[in-house]
Amino acid sequence: MNFAFAGAVSGLVAVALGAFAAHGLKSKLTPEMLAIFETGARYQMYHAFALLAAAWAAGQGAAASPAFARAAGWCFLAGTLLFSGSLYALALTGLRKLGIVTPFGGVFFLAGWGLLAFSFLARR
């Protein structure tokens, strides 16, 4: 997986969805649902940068263990899909049951950050 490409595309999508929320959804969603949508976009952007960091760590030999950096990248991707994706779907549909998925995305985000940190400490 090319995590640098995935990070760049994820950042592009986060900006586009954030702008869509600010301009296209502001009059269509309740303030609560708009805030939920914006949280999804914000966390997607944070983790677009995290994907770029994982790509750099794995590809430039900056990490003592590139395998852990790659695993972090997969966790950031999974977290974005589950966390941000569930928040987007919740805000757009109002189906509160979708909120059950969000914490799983958060766990992937945490695991990704932990793996990225460990990638700089692990011995080759």
Inform me whether the pLDDT recorded for 124 exceeds 80.
no
% of the chain residues with pLDDT over 70:
95
Euclidean distance between CA atoms 104 and 99, whole angstroms: 10
Segment 96-111, tens digit of pLDDT: 998 899 999 999 999 9
Is residue 16 within 8 Å of 44, Cβ to Cβ?
no
Q: Would you state the structure tokens that stand for residue 6, as one six-digit string?
A: 């995935």
pTM of the shown model: 0.92
Segment 28-66, tens digit of pLDDT: 999 999 999 999 999 999 999 999 999 999 887 666 788
